[in-house]
Amino acid sequence: MSNFSQKIKPALIIILVAAVIGILYNLVSPKGIGLVGSWSQQILEGNIIVPPSYDKTSDSPPISLADAMSLYNSPNIIFIDARTKEDYLKGHIKGALNLYMEEYDTWAPKVLPNVPKEATIVTYCGADECELSLFLARNMNVDGYKNLKIFFGGWEEWVKAGLPTSTGENP
Amino acid sequence: MKFLKNILLSKHLALLFRLFLGILFIYASVDKILHPAAFAKIVYNFHILPGFLINLFAIILPWVEFLLGVFLVLGIALDSVALLASTLLGVFIIALGVNLIRGLDINCGCFSTAPATKSSVSKRLIEDVIFLAMSLQVWKCHQGFLTLKNLFYKP
């Protein structure tokens, strides 16, 4: 037993030293984060679940599955899938364009020339856990799109509801 | 058969595993240290830790990995370091396994914080089981071979 505790002690010291270095580094690093973050999902009016990083005051409005469905059938609506090309090819909302959010600067010049500024845009990604749709809406807002909506339920809710989907390169 | 057993339990193989795991831990830690917010998001995606612990975990864990990596390569306090590495890998396996059963699509964040490099949970799980086996071999078989202590201190 004492032999085992002799092995545990240095392991605990390593964890302690790592904690001290980590916290100090985090304090001085420009990319440092708060020691305690806000990590609970928010539930907005209409039972719409949005990620912790969603800001009610400045972000584009979130829409529910029912909103997304009724918008889907109205004119001048463009759905944009913010996930990777790989995910998009496997399956996406029928008619949606693909603009992978993590590489916005390379994708936007290819995709956005076909998207009129006055169109209503619905961004979506995997499910309400995912933030790509939120960040895409933020970027597009900066690029002059003002009629943006975020469908946080995303691909997962859409598929569960049995709504129109498509695979491969075809929108 | 005995020959195979001798190889599997040899201190030379332990040295090889030690260096491999050490470099792996260092490599895995750097991206997390550089992008703490992205790593915290990955920790959140696992849905295992309570919210108030997520950032603290994301700040400390990469440095534990980094120190483990350095100590494995140099061969410092190998018994404890290999034990800690095995425990850590065991925890990763449980966390990945829980989410595999839950069917959550998470980015494991083992090597990178970019979603583009997301790989399937099961593949990561298999990798971690192999790493755990290596780490346990190091723990049991290293015999202090080519460690910092034994290079400079001859009893």
> Does B112 score more than 50 pLDDT?
no
B142-148 average pLDDT score: 84
Quickly state the pLDDT bin for B116 (edges 50, 70, 90): very low
> Does A101 score more than 50 pLDDT?
yes
Q: Which of A11, A31, A52 sits opposite B80 (nearest CB)?
A: A11
Q: What is the pLDDT of residue B115?
A: 46
Tell which of B63, B68, B86, B87 to mutate to test the A interface (max A CBs under 10 Å): B63
Quickly state the pLDDT bin for B15 (edges 50, 70, 90): very high
Parse chain A into domains and list their residue ranges. Answer: 1-35, 42-165
Parse chain B into domains and list their residue ranges. Answer: 2-152
Q: What is the pLDDT of residue A15?
A: 96
Which residues have CB under 8 Å from A156's CB, separation 6+?
A: A126, A127, A128
Q: What is the pLDDT of residue A148?
A: 97
Q: What is the pLDDT of residues A109-146, one digit of tens each?
A: 999 998 999 999 999 998 877 788 999 999 999 999 99
**Closest Cα in chain A to B78:** A7
ipTM above 0.85, yes or no: yes
Q: Which of B51, B83, B115 sits opposite A39 (nearest CB)?
A: B51
Provide the percentage of residues in chain A whose pLDDT is more than 90.
66
Mean pLDDT over all residues of chain B?
86
Q: CATH assignment of A42-165, given 3.60.70.12, 3.40.50.300, 3.40.250.10, 3.40.50.10320? A: 3.40.250.10
- CA A39, A40, A41, A46 torsion-angle sign: negative
SS (H, E, C) A62-129: ECCHHHHHHHHCCCCEEEEECCCHHHHHHCEECCCEECCHHHHHHHHHHHHHHCCCCCEEEEECCCCC
Q: Whose CA is closest to A140, among A171, A108, A100?
A: A108
